[in-house]
Structure 1
Amino acid sequence: MAAQGTNPSGASAFFSGQTLMVATVYFLPVLVPALFGWMNMVLAVPAFYVLRVFGTRGGTTLLRNGLLLAALIALLLNQMGVFLFSLTMLPLGYSLDRSAALGEGPARAGARGAITLAATWIIFWTIYGLAAGMNPYSHLLQLLDTGFTQTFEAYKSNADLPADVLLDLDRVITELKLLIPRILPGVLACMVLMTVWMNMVAGNTLLMHRNPEKAPWSGYSGWQLPDQVVWLPIVALVLTLVGQGRIRDAGICLLLVAGLVYFFQGLAVFIHLLERWRVPRYLRLIFYFLLVIQSYGLIMLAVLGISDVWIDFRRKGRDDQAGKD
């Protein structure tokens, strides 16, 4: 069972402050998608937070009331499609709350959440495709192909570009058109993992700051993958190097997924080291910015994450904590 906190006075009332807050969070991406569209990817956070703070029953009532108000606004704005997609994040919020109630660690909770979100999105887009009479996956590939073609045509119409530059650009775009269908499953899987990761980190951080007794996990710097996951990049690398055709494509997709999950671990190790060395906050922000803008920064963090399996950079911190206890 999730934490069954006692509902504050008026929490279940339809027009309570909490209900209006939930409604606001869910209708902002519908009201101003150009400005708040990014919120669609973190809408499991309010659900997770509400369920942890008010308990499963009280949280569900609060979410129901808030979502009904948001749905009414979406209906009036003729934006029900956008609103319905935002609802696909709700199962992830419930999944994270369930994992927290069971005492699961971040890795297991993330795996459960990824399966939940992937299944939810597959169901949503399958129903959407049946209703629209098209295949969403094929439509996405067609949109990407058209986008590449339009990009090349835009550059081609620029008379200032030399012929050799246009030739190189044409070759790159042609190669991308051939590559994208091969790696798109891996890219979509990475999108699922990235979405789950963002919601877990944001939700747990919010709870640690506002309701620390409800936070299910420690700070992000202590999150760690099971050692057995190291077989994922090993298998992916073998399939990529020795496989042919679809097997090699599967290896590339697995390699993308492995690189991302070990980027998560590498980032946790990096944050832990900055905390251990007591690096000032403004310098940390500079380091984070440099990692983002450098093309090799993400790769370095992924390598750091894999190295942590054998070196265990955070062992000293755990030993120090054990000594204090």
Structure 2
Amino acid sequence: MAAQGSNHPGRSSFFSGQTLMVAMVYVLPVLIPALFGWMNMVLAVPAFYVLRVFGTREGTSLLRNGLLLAALGALLLNQVGVFLFSLTMLPLAYSLDRSAALGEGPARAGARGTITLALTWIAFWTIYGITAGMNPYNHLLELLDAGFTQTFEIYKSNTDLPAEVLLDLDRVISELKLLVPRILPGVLACMVLMTVWMNMVAGNTLLLQRNPEKAPWAGYSGWRLPEQLVWLPIIALALTLIGQGRIRDAGICLLLVAGLVYFFQGLAVFIHLLERWKVPRYLRLVFYLLLIIQSYGLILLAVLGIADVWIDFRRMGRNDGQPGEE
């Protein structure tokens, strides 16, 4: 789909190379969901790329034709539901393209994209719930509860486990059954944030590599949050420590969201430091793997992100006029 302009009207016609590539990208999660199902969460990337490279008007025509071909494939494979869910990423792509056209920084673009994707998913699952005659949120809670129960039954059937271990496991699962309904809104909010973040980073990185003149933002290491957002973890922590009942649950959910948001900033700081110190790429990969494997690594990055509000680890060697940092 790489291109240098939008002056070729044949690009958006049916069966052009670009159209077929768009169709292939969107039909893969439908064709082999077990292998490519994860692509549903990053399908705003190809749409955002097309809109930026070909322009909104021609890009929309190209996407329309490619998606019509993909829809035909989904219909033949009897996977229309999966395909319809993949379309929920399109509003996010248009939101990011709009933010890029307005010259908005990553933080504002991410906020706009988060609201857009959240409303899109709420609308999708509401319509799905109405047509299916059930409440998707309650159904999810029931599935999680049944999963915990099934897990305990599997361990319980293992005669080699001591009674003390089974008793502890039963207590842990019982506590999880009580905890999950309280924090599920925060977990779902984090899923929306993570999805928007992945699509923004992947889409902008792809543009920087293939069409740098079309990239709306600088590299990820320069992205930063507004300083005023530091009140989010402060308020969340206060609600968690002082509040009771639903207020405390809201504080926990906000704390999850704040932790994830500042993890994003901490990761940007970490990447910036690795770049400043000219750490070889293979060592960077080792550091990234360690952060993923070690659970406390994610917490450390969130703390690093919050600390950057006051310390500004990226001040040295940073060009204040560089676009896409705020």
Q: Same fold (TM over 0.5)?
A: yes
* 1:189-211 Cα distance to aligned partner (Å, 9 max, x none): 00000000000000000000000
- Pairing 1:87-236 to 2, within 5 Å after superposition: 87-236=87-236
User: Deviating runs (4+, > 3 A) in structure 1?
Assistant: 319-322
Query: 1:41 — aligned with what?
Result: 41
How many angstroms apart in 2 are the aligned matches of 1:316 and 1:254?
32
Report deviation, 1:215.
Answer: 0.1
For CA contacts below 8 A with separation 6 or more, give which structure has more relative contact order: 2
- Post-superposition Cα deviations, 1:118-139, rounded to whole Å, max 9, x if no partner, equal 0000000000000000000000
SS in 2 for 1:158: coil
Distance 1:281 1:69, change over 3 A: same
| Correspondence 1:296 to 2:324 | no
Counterpart residue number, 1:70: 70
Contact map agreement 1:30 1:83 (CA 8 A) in 2: yes
Superposed, 1:11-26 pairs within 5 Å as 11-26=11-26
Gapped regions of structure 2 (runs ≥ 5):
none
**Distance in 1 (alpha carbons) for counterparts of 2:282 and 2:165:** 41
Q: What is the DSSP-based 3-state SS (H/G/I as helix, E as strand, rest coil) of the residue aligned with 1:316?
A: coil
Q: TM-score, with normalisation over the residues of structure 1? A: 0.97
- Structure 2 distance, partners of 1:114, 1:304, is 23
* Identical columns (%): 86
Q: CA, structure 1 residues 44+321, in 2 after alignment: closer, same or farther (shift >3 Å)?
A: closer
Distance 2:12 2:188 in 1: 38
Question: The residue matched to 1:11 in structure 2 has which SS?
Answer: helix
TM-score with structure 2 setting the length = 0.96
Partner of 1:271: 271
Structure 1 unaligned residues grouped into runs of 5+: none
The 2-side partners of 1:319 and 1:214 are apart by 20
Going from structure 1 to structure 2, the CA distance change for 1:18 and 1:230 (only over 3 Å counts) comes to same
* TM-aligned CA deviation for residue 297 of structure 1: 0.5
Shift of 1:9: 5.2
Distance in 2 of aligned mates of 1:251 and 1:282: 40
After superposition, what is the alpha-carbon deviation per residue over 1:70-98, rounded to whole angstroms, capped at 9, x for unaligned? 00000001000000000000000000000
2:298 alignment partner, SS class: helix
AA matched with 1:57: R
Equivalent residues of 1:7, 1:58 under 8 A apart: no
Q: Does 1:61 align with 2:50?
A: no
> Residue deviations 1:126-176, cap 9 Å, x none?
000000000000000000000000000000001111111111100000000
In structure 2, give the amino acid aligned to 1:108.
R
| Alpha-carbon spacing, 1:235–1:211, altered in 2? closer, same or farther (3 Å) | same
Equivalent AA in structure 2 for residue 48 of structure 1 = F
Task: Give secondary structure in 1 for the equivalent of 2:55.
Answer: helix
The alignment of Structure 1 onto Structure 2 pairs a total of residues equal to: 319
The whole-number CA distance in structure 2 between the counterparts of 1:119 and 1:240 is: 27
CA distance in 1 between partners of 2:92 and 2:320 (Å): 35
Q: Secondary structure at the match of 2:252?
A: helix
The AA in structure 2 aligned to 1:207 is L
Residue by residue, what CA displacement relative to the aligned partner does 1:7-30 show, whole Å, maximum 9, x if unpaired? 435212111000000000000000
- Distance in 1, matches of 2:11 and 2:218, equals 28
Q: Give the secondary-structure state (helix, strand or coil) at the position aligned to 1:278.
A: coil
Give 1:304's aligned amino acid.
L
In structure 2, give the amino acid aligned to 1:171: R
Alpha-carbon distance between aligned partners in 1 of 2:12 and 2:244, rounded to the nearest angstrom: 58
Rate the CA distance shift 1:172–1:100 in 2: closer, same or farther, 3 A.
same
Q: C-alpha deviations, 1:206-227, integer Å up to 9, x for none?
A: 0000000000000000000000
Alpha carbons of structure 1 residues 178 and 12: separation in structure 2 relative to 1, 3 Å: same
After superposition, what is the alpha-carbon deviation per residue over 1:35-55, rounded to whole angstroms, capped at 9, x for unaligned?
Answer: 000000000000100000000
Q: Structure 2 counterpart of 1:204, which letter?
A: N
Distance in 2 of aligned mates of 1:197 and 1:184: 20
